[in-house]
DNA sequence: TCTCTTTGCACAATCGATAGTGCAAATACT
DNA sequence: AGTATTTGCACTATCGATTGTGCAAAGAGA
């Protein structure tokens, strides 16, 4: 085995070594050789040489010629959050199983960055783009459309192409009901004791709030507007909202519906400044699941969005030739307090 | 603005539109035009047309010609964990600021998958590879070396190229000492009451354990071997180890050093099966930081690895022409219980 | 043996950008 | 005016693969 060759082997190298033409080598190595009526023996020889010289196709050349790169993009708001990183993990498995290469990037929930990032991915001729949690899905759509790039929305719906989202209304209902039922019948919750914090002017927040209000009116017979505090998705703004509330009221609400784990982090920041006892009587529901959050010192009810099903559906829809711009809703799951779910990590073999 | 053109504009299109040759267009748009003595007016015209027709260079063609793709790879064990997803987030910011495109993939801590994944990235002619937490860094090294790809190790060191890692010995010491000091002088910890769970036969685990034992011997004057339970990185194996311990001893150790947040998830699974009181008296130290874990019902002391500094150092070393295979150690930070740190998320603007 | 078909492969154009080279026109200089 | 420079750009090969087309040699059929 003579190593040390600086440059990678190409079909031209193998062509010389095998005595066949580059096109023959190409056909053998990309699987189209039967169609081209290449002799089995020729193919075998070339495969052997390819093995010996560790040939791997140059994807840029392939992509240039075929205008398909084998790259599949996932556009996320951010990486460092269990929801989105689980999304990345599951996405990667899907893409790799199709023999393609995942490329996951984040665009900070900024409409312009979303469009520019999409454009960058397009310049690499990615084959498909999954747009997850975009602030402006239709803006990204335009960029993709113009480049003839197939794309789909996840988590937040757009209007031009199919979307696969969590059933936020139903999830909001489930979570609200679970929060209310967490209180014993002899100390029931009053309507003004259940607050929702977080979220902003996006579809997911709207639907969750709609579910929240519906159940609240049903079960608690009341729903004061003051109980909805949309703080955006910034942890710090969320913290400020809690500080303001606490300042005003001298206490926290008995029950809390937190719009996302990112808002929950804002709550943590508030917690850091206040003693344990402040929280001892409260119940929190959070739309998103995080294993550590599930074990906090007060009951935390969580909603786990069914990432696997959402992505499975998205990949399925992606396979259709010209899918209608339908919104597919996937029912999320209610997770009771103190629950440690298995995740993608569990698929790993662990040696040593 | 006449839209609707299916295919993207190329330098040939602009060449026709501008009346210049493709090479002139290319030079103007890639910035080498002054060197080529192109008239300012010609350049202006071409730039204007490029703007109008929304030209963006085809990176595959560029890459094929120049054998540089503008892609920079990060190889992770897994995505869905705060440590690695923060790594991805910070990495992405660095790469984007250099005008390149990040490509983050995971290889499940499996040596063969690590090598194959590196090979895949190489087939896309990535410019650099950051190998993070690889089980077999030197195996990946061989693949990169053979392809002439510049690379560096992060988190776990290799022997052939530079590595930037957390100072695990010092971190292990800091964490152990903090755990011990968490106990009041009148109820001090005995050597056999402090256990370490998690980790395996890797450099990071070894160093953390070395730090653990050194401090334990110093402060507690004893260090029984039984107190080290290496369970690997699987949450489930970790849970089993705790179950076994509990079965045997009828209780948990008073103090715990958990090797990583992934092992901590195994502890969560154990917690799910046991009532609150089981943990009320204990102190846990975890090597890794997770904001939610920091607020669990018992004191959790955490180590935050300094991801920003590690990556900053890695990118700095990467710039050197032929860096020596040194191991650079970055001191991690001790995080006291109930601490919610700001993260990369805080850089986001939040509108609405 | 001679035509007809099938087999097996080589040739050459192409994808979109880059960079070395060469050459006419414009300008400078004597 | 005549030569020497400089300016401004076009030409062309190249990166590594894909694919439509063409053609010689081998085999089949009469």
Model confidence pLDDT, tens digit, residues B38-65: 999 999 999 999 999 999 999 999 999 9
Q: What distance in Å separates the CA atoms of residue B339 and residue B104, rounded to the nearest whole number? A: 29
Query: Residue B30: pLDDT above 80?
Result: yes
Chain center to CA of B315: 13
Distance B275 CA to D11 C1' (A): 81
- Where on strand D do bases come within 7 A of a protein Cβ? 7-21
Q: Which of B121, B165, B162, B164 is nearest to B144 (CA)?
A: B121
- pLDDT for res A1: 35
Cβ-based contacts of B350 with chain A (< 8 Å): 109, 200, 232-234, 237
Predicted local confidence at residue B224, as pLDDT: 87
Tokens of A241: 């909202």
Q: Write out B153-212 in H/E/C secondary structure.
A: EECCCCCCCCEEEECHHHHHHHHHHHHHHCCCCCCCCCHHHEEEECECCCHHHHHHHHHH
CA distance A168 to A202: 11
- Residue B38 CA and nucleotide D7 C1' are separated, in Å, by 9
Q: Is the pLDDT of residue B296 over 70?
A: yes
Around B254, how many Cα atoms within 13 Å sit in the side-chain half-sphere? 14
B290 neighbors B302 (Cβ within 8 angstroms): yes
Q: How far apart are CA B340 and CA A212, in angstroms?
A: 28
Query: A253 in helix, strand or coil?
Result: coil
Tell me the pairing of strands B327-330 and B163-166: parallel
pLDDT at B1: 34
Structure tokens at B268: 């969560």
- Chain C nucleotides close to protein (CB under 7 A) are 7-21
Q: Which helix (H) or strand (E) holds B257?
A: strand B255-258
Q: Is the dihedral of CA B234, B235, B240, B246 positive or negative?
A: positive
Please check whether residue B42 is in contact with residue B68, taking contact to mean a CB–CB distance below 8 angstroms: no
Give alpha helix (H) positions in chain A. 11-18, 22-30, 40-52, 59-66, 82-97, 111-123, 137-147, 168-181, 203-220, 235-249, 261-272, 307-319
Architecture of domain A68-161: 3-Layer(aba) Sandwich (3.40)
Q: Which nucleotide's C1' atom has the smallest distance to the CA of A14?
A: D16
Pairwise CA distance, residues B124 & B127, whole Å = 9
Q: What percent of chain A has pLDDT above 70? A: 97
Considering only residues 76-115 of chain A, list those whose CB is below 7 Å from strand C.
none
* Shortest CA distance from B92: residue in chain A: A105
Helix, strand, or coil (residue A196): strand
For residue A167, the distance in angstroms to the closest alpha carbon of chain B comes to 22
Question: With bands split at pLDDT 50, 70 and 90, how would you rate the model's confidence at A340?
Answer: very high
Handedness of CA A315, A318, A323, A328 (dihedral sign): positive
**pLDDT band for position A23 (cuts 50, 70, 90):** very high
Total Cβ atoms within 10 A of residue A3: 8
Mean pLDDT of the region A126-130: 97
Q: How far apart are CA A243 and CA A238, in angstroms?
A: 9
pLDDT tens track for B196-221: 999 999 999 999 999 999 999 999 99
Residue of chain A nearest B348, judged by CA positions: A108
* pLDDT tens digit sequence for A61-115: 999 999 899 999 999 999 988 999 999 999 999 999 999 999 999 999 999 999 9
Per-residue model confidence (pLDDT) at position B257: 98
Q: How far is the CA of B24 from the C1' of D11 (A)?
A: 11
Of B92, B233, B268, the CB nearest to A106: B92
CA of A16 to C1' of D27 (A): 29
pLDDT at A102 (0 to 100): 96
Interchain CB distance below 8 Å, B343 and A233:
no
Q: What share of chain A is helix, strand, coil (3-state, %, to 5)?
A: 45, 15, 35
Q: Are A133 and A109 in contact (CB under 8 A)?
A: yes
Report residue A161 as tokens.
């192409």
Retrieve residue B233's tokens.
Answer: 């990185």
pLDDT at B349: 63
Average pLDDT over residues A187-210: 95
Provide the shortest C-alpha distance from residue A82 to chain B (in Å).
Answer: 6
pLDDT in tens, B109-139: 999 999 999 999 999 999 999 999 999 999 9
Residue B343 has pLDDT above 90, yes or no: no
Q: Which of B212, B44, B59 is nearest to B126 (CA)?
A: B59
What's the confidence (pLDDT) of residue B69? 94
Give the C-alpha distances (Å, rounded to integers) separating A165 from A302, A318, B80: 17, 14, 20
Selecting from B125, B135, B345 the residue whose C-beta is nearest the C-beta of A78 gives: B345
pLDDT of residue B346: 79
Rg (CA), chain A: 26
For residue B145, CA distances in Å to A7, B140, B161 come to 10, 9, 10
Query: What distance in Å separates residue A230's CA from the closest CA in chain B?
Result: 9
Residue B95, pLDDT score: 96
Q: Which nucleotide is nearest to B37 (CA to C1')?
A: D8
Residue A344 CA to residue A325 CA, distance in Å, equals: 30
Distances (CA, A) of B155 to B85, B138, B204: 14, 14, 8
Mean pLDDT check: name the lowest of A5-9, A70-74, A261-265, B260-264: A5-9
Q: What is the CATH number of domain B168-304?
A: 3.40.50.2300
Q: DSSP letter for B318, please.
A: H
Question: Which segments of chain B belong to CATH 3.40.50.2300?
Answer: 68-161, 168-304
Between A196 and A349, the higher pLDDT residue: A196
pLDDT of residue B3: 42
A35 strand C contact, CB < 7 Å: no
Phi, psi of A228 (to 5 degrees): -105, 115
Nearest to A290 by CA among B306, B85, B255, B254: B85
Contact call for A345 and B81, based on CB within 8 A: yes
User: Cβ A64–B69 below 8 Å, yes or no?
Assistant: no
Task: For residue range B323-336, list pLDDT tens digits in order.
Answer: 999 999 999 999 99
Q: How far is the CA of B16 from the C1' of C25 (A)?
A: 22
Mean pLDDT of B60-84: 94
Residue nearest C12, CA–C1′ metric: A23
């Amino acid at each position: 085995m003579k190593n040390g060759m600086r440059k990678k082997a190409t079909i031209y190298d193998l062509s010389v070594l095998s005595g066949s033409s580059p096109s023959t080598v190409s056909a053998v190595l990309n699987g189209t050789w039967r169609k081209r009526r290449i002799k089995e023996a020729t193919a075998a020889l070339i495969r052997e040489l390819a093995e010996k010289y560790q040939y791997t196709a140059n994807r840029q050349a392939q992509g240039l010629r075929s205008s398909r790169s084998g790259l599949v993009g996932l556009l996320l708001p951010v990486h460092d959050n269990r929801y989105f990183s689980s999304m990345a993990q599951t996405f990667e498995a899907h893409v790799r199983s199709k023999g393609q290469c995942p490329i996951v990037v984040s665009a900070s929930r900024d409409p312009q960055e979303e469009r520019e990032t999409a454009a960058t991915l397009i310049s690499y001729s990615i084959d498909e783009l999954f747009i997850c949690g975009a602030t402006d899905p239709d803006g990204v759509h335009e960029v993709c459309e113009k480049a003839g790039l197939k794309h789909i929305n996840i988590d937040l719906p757009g209007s031009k192409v199919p979307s696969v989202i969590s059933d936020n209304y139903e999830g909001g209902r489930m979570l609200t009901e679970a929060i209310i039922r967490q209180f014993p019948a002899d100390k029931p919750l009053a309507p003004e004791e259940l607050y929702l914090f977080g979220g902003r002017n996006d579809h997911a927040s709207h639907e969750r709030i709609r579910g929240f209000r519906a159940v609240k009116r049903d079960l608690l017979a009341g729903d004061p507007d003051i109980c909805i505090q949309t703080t955006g998705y910034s942890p710090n703004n969320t913290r400020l909202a809690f500080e303001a509330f606490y300042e005003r009221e001298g206490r926290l609400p008995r029950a809390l519906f937190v719009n996302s784990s990112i808002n929950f982090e804002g709550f943590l920041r508030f917690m850091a400044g206040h003693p344990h006892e402040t929280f001892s009587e409260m119940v929190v529901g959070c739309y998103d699941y995080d294993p550590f959050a599930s074990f906090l010192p007060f009951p935390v009810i969580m909603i786990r969005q069914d990432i696997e099903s959402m992505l499975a559906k998205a990949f399925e829809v992606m396979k259709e030739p010209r899918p209608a711009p339908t919104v597919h809703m996937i029912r999320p799951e209610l997770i009771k307090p103190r629950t440690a779910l298995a995740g993608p990590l569990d698929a790993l073999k662990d040696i040593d």
